[in-house]
Each structure stands twice: as C-alpha cells, then as structure tokens.
Amino acid sequence: GEKVEQHESTLSVREGDSAVINCTYTDTASSYFPWYKQEAGKSLHFVIDIRSNVDRKQSQRLIVLLDKKAKRFSLHITATQPEDSAIYFCAASKANYNVLYFGSGTKLTVEP
Amino acid sequence: EAAVTQSPRNKVAVTGGKVTLSCNQTNNHNNMYWYRQDTGHGLRLIHYSYGAGSTEKGDIPDGYKASRPSQENFSLILELATPSQTSVYFCASGDAGEGTEVFFGKGTRLTVV
C-alpha cells in the first residue's frame, strides 16, 4: 500500500514567520493530497488539499506545493499565528478511491 | 457540518476481553474508516468500508474485525484485547470517489490493562 512519510516531527517558529512541512509518498498512482489539523486533545479537521493536475494551491495563508516527479508535497503556512499551533497531518489517496494514508504528523508550535 | 459520533469516548478493558467500538454517521457517506493514533506513527488505517455489508483491510488489520451493518454504522471489534491495542481510535466517513473531504469523529481512548 501507499506509504506517506512526514519529515518534520516537530517544528517551532516565531509568530509572523513562515512554517513549512514536507511529505513524500511512494505510490505513483496517488493523486489526491489533503492536509488535516489536530488541535490539542481534539479530532482532526481538513485544512487544504491539492490534486495531481496542479502543482500549487493557495487558500488564504496556506499554500500547498506538489512535485509529482519527486513524489513530494509540502504545506506552507505564511504569517503564522499562535492559533496555528497544532499537529498537522499530510495524507495521500489514489485516483477513484477515497482511502487516505496518513503521515506521522508534525507538531507545530508558534511562539509569540 | 458532517457528523460522526463515536461511542464510548473512553474505555478501559481487560486483557483477553472483547471490546466493541461503535461509530455512527448521519452524512449518508458511502465510505467509513477506522484509524488508530499512536505517538510517532500518526494515523494508521485498520479497516474501512465502501458501504453496508462491505469491509476491507487496511494497513494494520491483525487483531481487529470490522462490521458495517448499515450505511450509518461501522463497528470495530477487538475479540481478544491486548495491551498493545491501547490507543486512540478515530472513526471517519467520506463520500466515495477521489478527493472528497473525510470527516472524523472525536475519538475513543482505549486502555487495555
């Protein structure tokens, strides 16, 4: 099956700086790459996604980049705020299926 | 907002006992999933289902069974619980087909003693 590797287990940035979280995947058939956020003690909720027909997507302060050749995708959070502090999970799924395989998570801390 | 409800939210079980974790969704989603979350491993897929009557094995199905008796309900069954199954379990639901949002329940914290 698909294996998603999330490279940063922890990340600490100062408020206002940018944060970047990197993920790689193994299955060339994967074509959908969402990101989920988990605040302390809570469940996961969707934040942004990217499909394989594009290489960049932005939603407000969140930017996702996809490099299909390298099988790598990344989440960029610009102008970070304390409320961005959470665990972020990347995931991948194959075309025509909606079964997500997750990375191990990155704990982001935004320091004031 | 899509609703996925898990019960119980907390459970302490004895080694060798049977545990059933229940999940209900009111979103009319075809797909449902069970994941476990452990530090250092992220979320790992245990079982999933494409609809009533179907169950599929995920990455770590050993020691777990799943049951999908209806569109709304998906259970995870530990016939003989072991301490290694101590974890937080998340149920989720989503539409069939690629690239649709998956909605998670609040999780069940299971401790096997």
The amino acid occupying position A26 is T
Phi, psi (degrees; rounded to nearest 5) at B54: -110, 140
Q: pLDDT at residue B50 above 90? A: yes
Chain B 8-67, residues with CB within 8 Å of chain A CB atoms: 31, 33, 35, 40-45, 48, 58-59
pLDDT digits (tens, 9 = 90+) for B13-29: 999 999 999 999 999 99
Taking CB atoms and an 8 Å limit, are B31 and A46 in contact across chains? no
CB atoms within 10 A of CB A12: 12
When pLDDT is cut at 50, 70 and 90, the band that residue A100 belongs to is very high
Q: What is the pLDDT of residue A94?
A: 84
Distance (Å) from the C-alpha of residue B22 to the closest C-alpha of chain A? 16
Chain B 61-100, residues with CB within 8 Å of chain A CB atoms: 90, 94-100
Sorted by sequence, the CB contacts under 8 Å of residue B1 that are 6+ apart come out as: none
Nearest to B110 by CA among B38, B42, B27: B38
Taking CB atoms and an 8 Å limit, are B104 and A99 in contact across chains? no
**Contact A42/B at CB under 8 A:** yes
Please report the sign of the dihedral spanned by the C-alpha atoms of residue A93, residue B62, residue B36, residue A74.
negative
Distance (Å) from the C-alpha of residue B39 to the closest C-alpha of chain A? 8
Look-up of token digits 């008796």: B69
pLDDT digits (tens, 9 = 90+) for A68-81: 999 999 999 999 99
Which of B40, B45, B98 lies closest to A98 in CB terms? B98
Average pLDDT over residues A89-109: 91
